[in-house]
């Protein structure tokens, strides 16, 4: 069992049990209340789409819903800003070209 991350210890957090979401067919842990974007960042997933023009990787930039750089496909719906979307158990998230 890994020790809790330092920010949790700092604020004495005791989150509800984590669950899994699926990101490009790989499981990623999320804590209830966390956004999909934050769960991905915590798991080290930083490039979340490829650009339409040059195909370069892009990831979360503003973190507050302004920039749209973190657009991803969630459960096959229209692209969403994952920094704004709270993760739910079983979410299927995909990186795409957009």
Partner 1 sequence: MPTYDAVVIGAGPAGMSGAHTIGQAGLQVALVDAGPRLGGQFHRHPPAAFHATRPQALHHGWRHFCAFRDRLADLPGVTHLPDHHVWSVEQADGLITVRAVTDLRRPVGVTIRGRALLIATGGYDRQLPFPGWDLPGVLTAGAAQALLKGNLVLAGRRVVVAGSGPFLLPVAAGLGRAGATVVGVYEAARVSRFLRHATTLAQNAGKLVEAARHHATLLRHRIPMHSGWAVVAAHGDTHLAAVTVARLDRAGNPVPGTRRRVPCDTLAIGYGFTPQTELLVQLGCATRVDVDGSVVADVDAGQRTNVPSVYAAGEVTGIGGAALSEVEGVIAGLAIRAGVGKPGRVPRRLLSRRTALRRFAAAMHDVYRVPAGWVGWLTPETIVCRCEEVPAERVRAAVEQDGATQPRTGKLLTRAGMGWCQGRVCAHAVSTLITHFGGRPASPADLATWANRPIAQPVPLRLLADAAPDLSAPQP
Choose between 27 and 61: whose C-beta lies nearer to partner 1. Answer: 61
Reference 59, options 68, 46, 41, 50; nearest CA is 46
Nearest to 41 by CA among 92, 85, 80, 83: 83
The answer to whether 74 contacts partner 1 (rule: CB under 8 A) is yes
CA dist 67 to 4, 70, 77, Å?
31, 8, 20
Per CB under 8 A, 53 contacts partner 1: yes
76 sits near partner 1 (criterion: CB under 8 A): no
The residue behind tokens 């503003």 is 62
Size of the site for partner 1 (CB under 8 A): 51
Asked if residue 46 binds partner 1 (CB under 8 A), the reply is yes
Residues at the interface with partner 1 (CB under 8 A): 5-8, 10-16, 31-35, 38-39, 41-42, 46-48, 51-54, 56-69, 71, 74-75, 77, 80-81, 83-86
């Amino acid at each position: 069992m890994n020790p809790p991350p330092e920010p949790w210890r700092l604020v004495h957090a005791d989150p509800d049990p984590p669950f899994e979401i699926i990101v490009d067919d790989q499981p990623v842990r999320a804590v209830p209340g966390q956004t999909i974007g934050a769960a991905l960042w915590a798991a080290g997933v930083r490039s979340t789409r490829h650009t339409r023009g040059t195909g370069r990787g892009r990831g979360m930039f503003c973190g507050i819903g302004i920039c749209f750089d973190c657009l991803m496909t969630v459960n096959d719906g229209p692209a969403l800003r994952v920094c704004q979307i709270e993760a739910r158990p079983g979410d299927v998230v995909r990186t795409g070209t957009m």
